Chains A and B, each alone.
Chain A
């Protein structure tokens, strides 16, 4: 029993905070020096039922709002999932440089 518990503990430690990175993308830059801006949204999924289906658009809108009078360059996008107990969280993180015109 003790052996089983210790094995379970070891596996639990190993399995804590598990993630999967699905996509990483970077885009061009034109040489401008700008301010770093960031947007991050997420979607919680419980037993396959998604709570928020507009989270990618929200991240895109957040990024746009942070650079209302300029151009966003060098956008780096990460799409990942944090795995969980009968649930998971999909995450979108966008970072870029706001070049004011």
Chain B
């Protein structure tokens, strides 16, 4: 029983200590009629981000051998040469994950009368991985 509790506690610490980082916030114009009478909607898309440096650091914890640790660091250094460039949050393997938002907006608001849109780019950070999130909120006015 105690062992189970320890495992649960470890999992909770691992997954509940995520921190959210805001990278970007933007607003479009606000049509007061649409905002006051329209229906609010929210679209969230997310992709898993990976921090290979953290992955290598974590992997090093599982080995006692100094040689293996050194090799892991060397490998990570080599890999980092292939991943140069500016980053917002962690890197992802699919850059098109947010492109579905345009279609999702049309599905949320078939009348296409949309105002008060906010765009948020944020990261939910966990050990080694992260959620690279794009969040759109807005107001949809019913078509006449």
Contact of A86 among B47, B81, B111, B134 (CB under 8 A): B81
Grouping DSSP codes into helix (H, G, I), strand (E, B) and loop, the B interface class, with mixed when no group exceeds half, is: mixed
Known: A18-B93, A26-B119. A84 touches B82 (CB 8 A): yes
The one of B28, B31, B50, B101 that contacts A14, using a Cβ cutoff of 8 Å: B50
- Asked whether, in the complex, the Cβ of A74 is within 8 Å of the Cβ of B92, the reply is no
Q: How many A-B residue pairs have CB under 8 A?
A: 148
User: In the complex, which range does the number of interface residues on chain B fall in?
Assistant: 35 or more
Q: Which of these, B72, B82, B93, B102, contacts A85 with CB under 8 Å?
A: B82
Given A12-B79, A78-B99, A88-B84, A24 and B134 touching (CB < 8 A)?
Answer: yes
Q: Does A26 contact B87, Cβ atoms closer than 8 Å?
A: no
Contacting pair A20 B117 (CB below 8 A): no
Does A21 lie within 8 Å of B113, measured CB to CB? no
A8 to B73, CA, bound (A): 11
Contact present for A15 and B79 (CB under 8 Å): yes
Q: A11-B75, A26-B136, A85-B81 are in contact. Are A19 and B121 (CB under 8 A)?
A: no
Q: How far is the CA of A80 from the CA of B105 in the complex (A)?
A: 21
List, sorted by A's number, 11 A–B pairs whose CB atoms are closer than 8 Å: A7-B71, A21-B97, A26-B101, A27-B28, A28-B116, A45-B85, A74-B102, A76-B102, A83-B82, A85-B84, A88-B86
Chain A positions within 8 Å of B, measured between CB atoms, are 3-4, 7-8, 11-12, 14-33, 45, 73-74, 76, 78, 80-91, 93, 95, 97
